[in-house]
Structure 1
Amino acid sequence: MGFQVSQSNKQKKVKPFYGPDIDSVVDGTNVSLPLVNPPDVAGYASWLVNHPSALDTFDSFTNEAKGKRVVVFLDYDGTLSPIVEDPDKAFMSAEMRMAVREVAKHFPTSIISGRSREKVKEFVQLSNVYYGGSHGLDILAPPRAAKSFDKKENEVAFQPAKSFLPAIQEIAIELDDTIREIPGARLEDNKFCISVHYRQVLPEDQEILKEKVKTLVENRPEFCLTEGKMVLEVRPSISWNKGDALNYLLDTLGFNDAEDVLPLYIGDDRTDEDAFKVIAGRREGFPIIVSSIPKDTIAWYSLRDPSEVLAFLLRLAKWKKSETSFFK
């Protein structure tokens, strides 16, 4: 039986995790966490009934995870770092970096982002995680895990859209010319996908921008257009998304057909729904949406914001460390 939201899980009262306590200590390091107040957004409490807090139900997770191999997948923007006006300044905190590093010591850990692999690796600065850039179109294994990739530290494990690179560079130039006249529009080259950010575009200009980008992409059938949080993304028209990347990584790790594997995915955007769908289809795992407002999602559990993601990751590392110590 898979790990699903049962009625008993929803009703079980577990001490909420607001601010620092013993679970915020990893390897003797005290991490100062901000006090998180219960959300007061209209409808959020009702939404939580169907998407309970992964912190409040943490004991249910650990009970299900006993005797299983947990595999951790993480989005970056809005999950490990806050959403900011300038995409180049979406830095993760030192505390978050430490938490991810600790989690990766105990579980295979991957970061799957819409950013280029190089950019997200530059932000994260960890060598013990898998990196999936461009929504998983550019996957790199950690050096010690890359046995089948010629043992080269910088060897790329998988690039299913490599043949599209010349066309991607061409459309990037066209997009730059297209949006140049719209104040606040910003182009980000993520190697295998191109992001058009409009967070700083005036509301009255946003629809104009969208229409211009949509028209350009419609004339290039080798590309498709998706939309995230204040961003339009132009991607190669191949059947590949974060869910496919999750499956590929599970297979690479030798876990895809294993019955004792518990995949955990934390993300906040529409593109993460593809990964949630894969876990839901397996009927076993822990899909977690990061949101402070009610939203449609396939995820079974929720965290409010990156501060709660930090708290969850610290508890996860702490739990595994204590469990390992118990059986020594």
Structure 2
Amino acid sequence: MGSHKDAENPEAPEAPKATLPTPVTPAGRDALDAILARPGRTVIALDFDGTLAPIVPDPEQARAHPDAVAALAALAPKVASVAVVTGRPAGVAVRHGGFAGVPGLERLVVLGHYGAERWDAVTGTVSAPAPHPGVAAVRAELPGFLDSVGAWQGTWIEEKGRALAVHTRRATDPQAAFEALRAPLTDLATRHGLIVEPGRLVLELRPPGMDKGVALRDYLTETAAESVLYAGDDLGDLPAFATLEQLRTEGTPGLLVCSGSTEVSELSERADLVVDGPAGVVRLLAAIAEHV
């Protein structure tokens, strides 16, 4: 007859907790210790594309990693807040992430368009200022502009509402197309009062004055966070890294996590911890949830 030890003994040993990776820097190790010691005063802030969702050729097909929502829902009730900080419209990130109406994510916040938009799970609504007029002007001019510089083949425009992005990932030589377009698109953006934000084979034309670093600092001030984890994968995440580096000099522990990519060495070289893409981010979040 088979053993029924576990059924008969409700105090059977629990399964071992997931192993937490060790940050490579002293500041990173101190930050992880602070997060584990005071989770209720910690903000977990995360990029979306490339961090919670795998990078795909068509951004409209991007979806959060299959285990991301479960990991977030397990961690969110144990920390001060979870915030998704993204260049996407807030509502798009919510839909593609599957964040709405999830038990455990009642206090989730999505800061879209680099903080220009905000979605709060508690209300289910997006708040945002009026759009920059330069975006409409560039929207009208961009197709003809790309045609005039001979950039149509393999490039395409992503409509982002308060911004526009030109992708080169489908070009014959994606990096060469990216480099060739960088200066002309910067000139176009400047004429209309916009800036160009370079990313992984994408050039985004958007209003100035807002980036992930500004959005993150404002949100951390609002929440009175005593420690913070930020995970990102792209050049647009560098301002958030810079904000955490500055906050560390001011006494706030911050853990910099890179969702591993060979395309953006600038980020991985500054990170305290490099994980294996969105799957690695999800494992890290789940492990933290087990340990707090």
Q: TM-score, normalised by structure 1?
A: 0.69
Q: Give the structure 2 partner of residue 120 of structure 1.
A: 93
Amino acid at match of 2:281: V
SS in 2 for 1:132: strand
2:52 pairs, out of 70, 80, 84, with 80
Is the 2:36–2:288 Cα contact (8 Å) retained in structure 1? no
Q: Distance in 1 between matches of 2:195 and 2:240?
A: 19
Q: Give the structure 2 partner of residue 290 of structure 1.
A: 259
User: Over residues 212-243 of structure 1, what are the superposed CA-to-partner deviations in whole Å (9 max), with x where a residue is unaligned?
Assistant: 423322322x11112010000111122x2101
Q: Distance in 2 between matches of 1:319 and 1:126?
A: 23
Q: Distance in 2 between matches of 1:218 and 1:60?
A: 39
Q: Give the structure 2 partner of residue 308 of structure 1.
A: 280
Q: Distance in 2 between matches of 1:70 and 1:64?
A: 6
Is the 2:31–2:227 Cα contact (8 Å) retained in structure 1? no
Gapped runs of 5+ residues in structure 1? 1-20, 25-47, 144-151, 321-328
Aligned Cα root-mean-square deviation (Å): 2.8
1:184 positional shift: 2.1
1:89 positional shift: 1.4
Amino acid at match of 1:175: L
| Aligned CA distance change for structure 1 residues 60 and 214 (closer, same or farther; 3 Å) | closer
1:278 pairs, out of 239, 243, 248, with 243
Identity across matched positions, percent = 24
Amino acid at match of 1:73: A
Is the 1:113–1:134 Cα contact (8 Å) retained in structure 2? yes
Q: Distance in 2 between matches of 1:88 and 1:153?
A: 21
Amino acid at match of 1:287: L
1:103 positional shift: 1.9
1:169 positional shift: 1.9
Is the 2:162–2:206 Cα contact (8 Å) retained in structure 1? yes
Q: TM-score, normalised by structure 2?
A: 0.77
Is the 1:51–1:302 Cα contact (8 Å) retained in structure 2? no
Amino acid at match of 2:216: L
Confirm or deny that 1:250 pairs with 2:220: yes
Gapped runs of 5+ residues in structure 2? 1-14
Q: Distance in 2 between matches of 1:287 and 1:295?
A: 14
Q: Comparing 208-217 with 120-129, which one deviates more in the overlay?
A: 208-217
1:205 positional shift: 4.2
Amino acid at match of 2:232: G
May I ask how many residue pairs the two structures share in their alignment? 255
